[in-house]
Amino acid sequence: MSTANDDRIHPFTRVVAASVIVVLLLAFFALYLEPDHTDIDFAWTILPRASAILIGAGYTAGAYFFVRLLGQKQWHRVQVGFLPITAFTICMFAATMLHLDRFHHGMFAFYLWTIIYAITPFLVPFIWWQNRATASSDLEDKDVHFSSFVRIGLGIMSILGILFFLIVFFKPAILISLAPWKLTPLTARIFTGWTILTLATVLSIANDGRWSATRILMESAMVGIALTLLGLPRMWGDFDTSKPMTYIFVAGIVLTLIAFIIIHIRLDKLSQRTG
């Protein structure tokens, strides 16, 4: 019989995850594989193609997260992602309402996008709230707990970042002026939502502090970064090569992927020693 802290994942959570995977894979095909056809295949026309490819890479990273969720038995391994996803869905809904005129009204993709982001700001936190009753705060047999120094540092960094990008959401011209490719106010707000998702995830990880609760989210980020790197040849023509930010962007994603790989290997080894 189940107990309050058996760390199980509820069946409803799995059903929603499976449904989300289908939607995210549709976004992968429409944005990452066919970025030049968003005028007929997506909820709004995304230009230039670099924006579509990057958003597609992000949604594919999300698909990886939910696929991994389906293979898990322990809720704590995925719970850290749900409140950050809630923040992301709120940003997407707000961006949609602020730029409703940019969308392809009457198309299936528009209705699908709008319905999803009208529902998920309520559905995702409901799933988190419902499933948290089973959550365990214990370390796994082979696990690592981050030091207080690391958790405080990550927490402060993420809070400051979230506050800054909340300002950017309301003033998208800030990001438009910095980005190495052309952004519209809508795409600037969309990318701000992705950044807030990332920072909120870091904050959630800092709050939990367990490697077992971080691993899948880090792997998900690595998938998104790897797809971004693979998409660079198709995006390069959209970048302003006279801007230093172009090279900062490329170097940043390369170094981040390398750092994540090293951290993942290192923490896996440490967790094996604790077992």
Q: What are phi and psi of 113, to 5 degrees?
A: -55, -50
Residue 97's nearest CA partner among 114, 121, 122 is 114
Does residue 157 lie in a domain region?
yes
Does residue 2 lie in a domain region?
no
Q: How many domains does the chain have?
A: 1
Does residue 88 lie in a domain region?
yes
Q: Which domain range does residue 79 map to?
A: 11-134+145-274
Single pTM value for the model: 0.95
The confidence score (pLDDT) of residue 110 equals 97
Contact 78, 9 (CB under 8 A): yes
Does residue 175 lie in a domain region?
yes
Give the residues across from 210 on adjacent strands.
Answer: 145
Contact 223, 58 (CB under 8 A): no
User: What are 27-45's pLDDT values in tens digits?
Assistant: 999 999 999 999 999 999 9
Does residue 4 lie in a domain region?
no
User: What are 88-116's pLDDT values in tens digits?
Assistant: 999 999 999 999 999 999 999 999 999 99
